[in-house]
Amino acid sequence: MYPELVEQTELVSRELIRITLLFPEMWMKSIDSLAAKYSGGHDISEIVRELQSHYKRLYNPETLPEYRFVQEFGKDLSIAYESLLQFYKARNRTHSLALLKQAIDMYWGIHYRIKNIEVHRTAQLPRQMCIQGSDGNEYTFLLKGLDDLRLDERVMQLFGLINSLLSKDSETARRSLAIERFPVVPLSSNSGLIGFYSNTNSLNQIVIENRKAVNQPNRLELNYACQFTPNWTTLTTMQKVESFEYALSNTPGNDLHRAMWYKSPNAEVWLERRTNYTRSLAVMSIAGYILGLGDRHPSNILIHERTGKVVHIDLGDCFEITWHRVHFPEKVPFRLTRMLIKPMEVSSTDGIFKHTANHTMRVLRANRESLMAVLEAFVYDPLVSWAYHQETDDGTNTNYTKQDRTLSQDGQPDKHSSKRHSSSSTGSLGSSTKQSISNNDCYFADTKAWNTGNPKARAIVKRIHDKLVGTDFSNKQLVVSEQIEKLIQQATATENLA
Mean pLDDT over 19-23 rounds to 77
**Mean pLDDT, residues 423-438 taken together:** 51
CA–CA separation, 324 vs 83, rounded Å?
Answer: 36
Distances (CA, A) of 378 to 213, 366, 457, 463: 44, 20, 10, 14
What is the end-to-end Cα distance of the chain in Å, rounded? 59
For all residues of the chain together, what is the average pLDDT? 81
List C-alpha distances in Å: 394 to 34, 35, 325, 390, 457.
20, 20, 14, 12, 21
pLDDT over 70 at 306, yes or no: yes
pLDDT on residue 400: 40
The radius of gyration of the chain from alpha carbons, rounded to an integer in Å, stands at: 26
Distances (CA, A) of 353 to 111, 177, 322, 356: 50, 12, 25, 5
Task: Determine the Cα–Cα distance for residues 357 and 361; give it in Å rounded to an integer.
Answer: 6
pLDDT at 19 over 90: no
Given a cut of 90, whether residue 429 has pLDDT beyond it is: no
Region of residue 338 (phi > 0: left; psi between -120 and 50: alpha; otherwise: beta)? alpha
pLDDT over 60 at 89, yes or no: yes
**pLDDT reading at 146 higher than 60:** yes
The percent of residues above 70 in pLDDT, for the chain, comes to: 82
Q: Can you say how many angstroms the Cα of residue 284 is from the centroid of all Cα atoms in its chain?
A: 17
pLDDT of 94-138, one tens digit each?
Answer: 667 788 888 888 888 888 888 776 443 434 467 788 888 888 888
Cα 263 from Cα 305, distance rounded (Å) = 8
Confidence of residue 255 (pLDDT cuts 50, 70, 90): very high
C-alpha pair distances (Å), 469 with each of 121, 141, 291, 339: 50, 38, 14, 31
149 pLDDT higher than 60: yes
The answer to whether the Cα torsion of 198, 166, 185, 47 is positive or negative is positive
Cβ proximity of 106 and 13 under 8 Å: no
Q: Could you tell me the CA-to-CA distances from 144 to 8, 199, 281, 373, 404 in Å, in that order?
A: 21, 20, 26, 30, 21
Over residues 444-456, the mean pLDDT reads: 54
State yes or no: pLDDT of 78 exceeds 70: yes
**What is residue 191's predicted lDDT score, i.e. its pLDDT?**
84
Round to whole Å and give the CA distance between 249 and 220.
Answer: 12
The DSSP-derived string for 76-129 is HHHHHHHHHHHHHH-S-GGGGHHHHHHHHHHHHHHHHHHHT-GGGGGTTSPEEE
Give the model's confidence band at 317: pLDDT under 50 very low, under 70 low, under 90 confident, else very high: confident
pLDDT value at residue 387: 43
Q: Report pLDDT for 488.
A: 96
Q: How confident is the model at residue 393 (pLDDT cuts 50, 70, 90)?
A: very low
Rounded CA-CA distance 225/221 in Å is: 6
Contacts 24+ apart (CB under 8 A), 374-377: 374/157, 374/158, 374/161, 375/158, 375/290, 375/291, 375/461, 375/464, 376/461, 377/154
Nearest to 150 by CA among 118, 189, 124, 178: 189
pLDDT of amino acid 117: 61
